[in-house]
Structure 1
Amino acid sequence: MNTTQYRAAIYLSSLIIFTGCAEKKQNPVAEKGYCISKELRKDLKLVKATTLPIEESITLTGEVESNSDKTVPFVSLVDGVVTETYFSLGDYVKKGQVLAQVKSTAINEMQDDTQTLQAQLAVAKRKLSSVEAMYKDDIASQKDLQEARSEVTILQSNISKTSKNRQLYSAGGSSMQIKAPADGYVISKTISKGMPVTAGGDQLFTISNLDKVWVMANVYATNMRHVYTDQPVVVKTLAYPDESFSGKINTISQVFNENERVLKAKIIMDNNGMKLRPGMSADIVLPVNAQNKTAIAIPAKALIFDNNQSYVVVYKKDCELEIRTVTEIASNSQYIYVEGNLKDGENVIASNGLLIYENLKNQLNNSTK
């Protein structure tokens, strides 16, 4: 073998060795000695890498509000003092349920008026009987009879009106009963025992049906072009970080809120399980900027970041795992889109991934020593 052939042989051997090492580095496989432990296997979560159209998203801030169409504020109908309360903030109440009692001079006056009118009616009825008897004997005139009957009718009408007012106020003795005006939850309460109240004054409590709630999203001017009616959204809350609630934008205000300088987008949400409470802050995720291309999509929990590089752990069997290098190209609230050595339909590990990755890496490092 001459010098040129010798050098060529060495170069070819080096190239084969380098290529083999490169392939091993790009797609490292754990030695047969490493398997997922029984403890890790119990909580192992696998997800399929799926080819999907790339969709990005933006996140708006917002707040959960009660449905104003099914919200009833209550103010006192009379001046008085609260003597008893029978409910607390957050309670569910039924329509007609007694919630409080208010002692009021107005109720006393109604009762006195009723007694006075009843006494006057008794006198008027006796007078009518007397006039009717005199009319039969031609002593009283037709006019006298009509006046006597009219007086009885007017008094009866006044008594009926007073009685209806007492029913409206749920009056009993000198107190008024405050009853729930509708079914629902007490979402605000300012009434307490011993507190003075005034007719038509401040709200004493508010009842709302929370089967449906409104999520009001803040739309800043920079996001206006991305937001539209009937747009699908995902609502997330701090109270339930692992859950999301799906909905769509129902309406968008046409004027900016003076204080916050935002447009308000209303999302009507079914409130199954009563997890969305008025006053709760929320993040509203909207899909935007849909691109006309596809990529492999995986959940964020499946991605592992190590030494300025992203990886996934591909699962084939408990004792057959691979570390794959990937590159992020886009993301939204549900997925991270990647490209690299990962195929559609392959299972990737989405729980305890970092721990399994470290075990794999240590196994691979030991096997190369």
Structure 2
Amino acid sequence: MKRNNHHFRFLYSAFTAAALLGLLSRCSTSEGNASNKAAKTPAGVETFSLEKGMLSSEIQLPGELISYQQVDLYAHETSFVKKIYVDVGSEVKEGQLLISMEAPEITSRLAGAESRWKSQESIYKASKANYDRLLETSKTPGTISPNDLDLAHARMSSDYDQLQAAKASYREITNSLDYLQIRAPFNGVITSRNVNPGAYVGPTGRGSERPLFTLQEQKHLRLVVSVPEVYTSYLQPNDTVSFRVKALPRDNFSARVKRQAHALDTRLRAERVEMDVQNDDKKLLPGMVADVTIPLPSRDSTFVVPKTAVVNTAEGIFVIRVTNGKAEHVAVQPGRSSDGKTEIFGGLKEGDKIVMIGSEEIRNGSPIVARK
């Protein structure tokens, strides 16, 4: 009898312990679910009213300084260098004589052309005098036949044409002599010299692999920059940019936008933009690389929001608008960014309540408590 009572007490204790453990487990699960539910519902998020503004920013781009004008000068006629009047670094004026050459065969051709010109001139004078006499005699009826008069006129006309051809040949050779003197086509600096007196020169590929001289205009330079596609709409003619060069780190230079390609380079997806730079003191040199600062002022007002309000996910870019106490994901297209703010474009209107710090954890359609 005592053994049965002992067995009964053991079973009762085990049942009581199991019931208590189950109750504690259910309480723990209920508390955990309540905690998770509270975490999924934001207690309150900071919002702001959407407004339009003007966002001004700037970009840093590499640029290159090149001469405003540059030309490689070659010999026009095959010849020999007679005298050189300039050297590397010489500053020259437009029309200044740079080099003189000589070509004996051209001189001989010129003498022959002059002789043919004088000879043909004498022939023409004789045929003209003959025609004039016949014309005067023909005024007496029956003295000169009309056919003889026509033949004399035709000979005179032919001799005149031959004379003009001889003159043209002479002028052509005279022009060739003029090409034996090379003059500066514009003001600039000689940056390259590749010949010496006595050298045999000629057109490129015929005695001259390299140019006689390279002439650059250096008091007027071009600053060339490739502007990425996304920024091309912000640049306008006469906009001012600033730039620096490594050789003169303490100096800050400025230039104005003068020329735009209005087309994108298919490889760089960028537009070529040129600025004019006055360089009267010649401190800047063609070929220098410049660090260019290009301002990007806003032309029209747009929605400007803190960067923290824009959520960038694999599914898209959006901001969170509070509508009737619920979160609404609104897809936007971001623009420029500056000083912690960014432009956005999308289906928004002024006065919309936007979550200050957006997050994927705030689900679309979830209840939300907004606070300012």
**What's the TM-score once normalised by structure 2's chain length?**
0.51
Assess, with a 3 A threshold, how the Cα gap between structure 1 residues 220 and 261 changes in structure 2: closer, same or farther.
same
Contact 2:131 2:156 in 1 (8 A): no
Partner AA of 2:82 in structure 1: T
Assess, with a 3 A threshold, how the Cα gap between structure 1 residues 119 and 61 changes in structure 2: closer, same or farther.
same
Unaligned runs of 5+ in 2: 1-54, 138-142, 299-303, 305-337, 340-372
- Aligned equivalents of 1:272, 1:192: Cα separation in 2: 31
Partner of 2:183: 179
- Aligned equivalents of 1:280, 1:108: Cα separation in 2: 49
Cα offsets for 1:175-228 (capped at 9, x unmatched): 82222233333355445440421279775445444443210123356x746962
Displacement of 1:262 after TM fit? 5.0
Q: Does 1:212 align with 2:217?
A: no
Cα offsets for 1:90-134 (capped at 9, x unmatched): 323233322222334455434422322222322332343345445
- Aligned equivalents of 1:261, 1:143: Cα separation in 2: 74
Contact 2:74 2:212 in 1 (8 A): yes
Assess, with a 3 A threshold, how the Cα gap between structure 1 residues 235 and 178 changes in structure 2: closer, same or farther.
same
Partner of 1:239: 247
Cα offsets for 1:116-153 (capped at 9, x unmatched): 22223223323433454455455683224323432443
Contact 1:226 1:288 in 2 (8 A): no
Displacement of 1:87 after TM fit? 1.8
Contact 1:214 1:266 in 2 (8 A): yes
- Counterparts in 2 of 1:32-51, with a 5 A limit? none
- Aligned equivalents of 2:222, 2:112: Cα separation in 1: 47
Partner of 1:267: 275
Assess, with a 3 A threshold, how the Cα gap between structure 1 residues 97 and 165 changes in structure 2: closer, same or farther.
farther
Unaligned runs of 5+ in 1: 1-53, 293-328, 331-369
Contact 1:80 1:198 in 2 (8 A): no
Contact 1:210 1:274 in 2 (8 A): yes
Assess, with a 3 A threshold, how the Cα gap between structure 1 residues 187 and 123 changes in structure 2: closer, same or farther.
same
Provide the alpha-carbon RMSD of the alignment. 3.9
Assess, with a 3 A threshold, how the Cα gap between structure 1 residues 73 and 243 changes in structure 2: closer, same or farther.
same
Contact 1:79 1:199 in 2 (8 A): no
- Aligned equivalents of 2:83, 2:269: Cα separation in 1: 43
- Aligned equivalents of 1:206, 1:225: Cα separation in 2: 34
Displacement of 1:160 after TM fit? 3.6
Partner AA of 2:94 in structure 1: K
Assess, with a 3 A threshold, how the Cα gap between structure 1 residues 182 and 226 changes in structure 2: closer, same or farther.
closer
Contact 2:106 2:176 in 1 (8 A): no
Contact 1:228 1:252 in 2 (8 A): no
- Aligned equivalents of 2:231, 2:291: Cα separation in 1: 17
Displacement of 1:268 after TM fit? 1.4
Partner AA of 1:186 in structure 2: I
Task: Count the aligned residue pairs.
Answer: 234
Partner AA of 1:178 in structure 2: I
Partner of 2:264: 255
Q: Does 1:145 align with 2:143?
A: no
Partner AA of 1:60 in structure 2: L
Partner of 1:41: none
Whose Rg is larger? 2
- Aligned equivalents of 1:179, 1:200: Cα separation in 2: 21
Partner AA of 1:58 in structure 2: I
- Aligned equivalents of 1:118, 1:206: Cα separation in 2: 42
Contact 2:130 2:152 in 1 (8 A): no
Partner of 1:165: 172
